[in-house]
A and B are shown apart, each in its own frame.
Chain A
Amino acid sequence: SAVISQKPSRDICQRGTSLTIQCQVDSQVTMMFWYRQQPGQSLTLIATANQGSEATYESGFVIDKFPISRPNLTFSTLTVSNMSPEDSSIYLCSVVFSGLGQPQHFGDGTRLSIL
C-alpha cells in the first residue's frame, strides 16, 4: 500500500505566526484532502486539494486562513496562517486512488499547539 508522509508530525507555535504542513505520497493519487480534528472530535473537512488549480474549500474555511497548494499528483501543502489558540488541532492529509468505492488513506497527522 502507499506510503503517506506528513511533516511536521507536531509543532508548538506562537500566536500570529504561520505553519506549512506537507503531505507527500509515494505514488500518484486521484484526490487529496485536508482535515482538521479538534481534541476529542471527529474529522472536519477543510478542503479538497486540486492539482494545478485552487483548492475547493468547505463552508467555514477560507483560502486566506488555510492556503493550499497541490503542484502535482503526489504532493500538497496546507498552511495555517495567523494562528491563534483556537487553531490548536490535529491536521490530517488523506488521499484516494482512482476507482469508485476507493477509501481514503491517511497520513499520521500534524499535532499543532498554539501558545
Chain B
Amino acid sequence: AQSVTQLGSHVSVSEGALVLLRCNYSSSVPPYLFWYVQYPNQGLQLLLKYTTGATLVKGINGFEAEFKKSETSFHLTKPSAHMSDAAEYFCAVSEGGGSNYQLIWGAGTKLIIKP
C-alpha cells in the first residue's frame, strides 16, 4: 500500500536559516508528488509538484524540492527562512497511477520560525 512519511511533526528553525522538511513515500508505480502549505485559518495552497522530467522542482515563495527515486524521497527546502513561512506543510503522493486524482497525505509538519 502506498504511504507518505513526514519526519518530524514540528520543525523549528531560526529566521534566515535553512529550512528542510523531509518526506519519504512508498509507491509501486512512478509517483506524482506534491507539497502543500496551510496557513492558520486557511485552506491548502500548492507549493510545488513533481510529475516527470527535471527532478529538482521550484515552487512558490522560494521553496524547492528534489525527487530522489533511489531514496524514495521528496524533501522540501528553502535557503533562508522568513517569519512568514510559519505554517503547516503537507507532502502528498498520487494514488496508483494518478488516474483517479486521489492523493495519499503525510501527517504534516508544523514549521516554527524563531526570531
Contact = CB atoms under 8 A, between A and B. Distances in A.
Nearest to A96: B101
* Interface size band for B: 20 to 34
Nearest to A98: B101
B106 A100 contact: no
Contact of B46 (A6, A31, A105): A105
A96 B105 CA distance: 16
B84 interface: no
Nearest to A9: B41
Q: In this complex, which of B34, B44, B46, B102 has the most chain A Cβ atoms within 10 angstroms of its Cβ?
A: B44
Nearest to B102: A45
Contacts of A102: 101
A85 interface: no
Interface of A: 4, 6, 30-31, 33, 41-43, 45, 48, 92, 94, 96, 100-109, 111
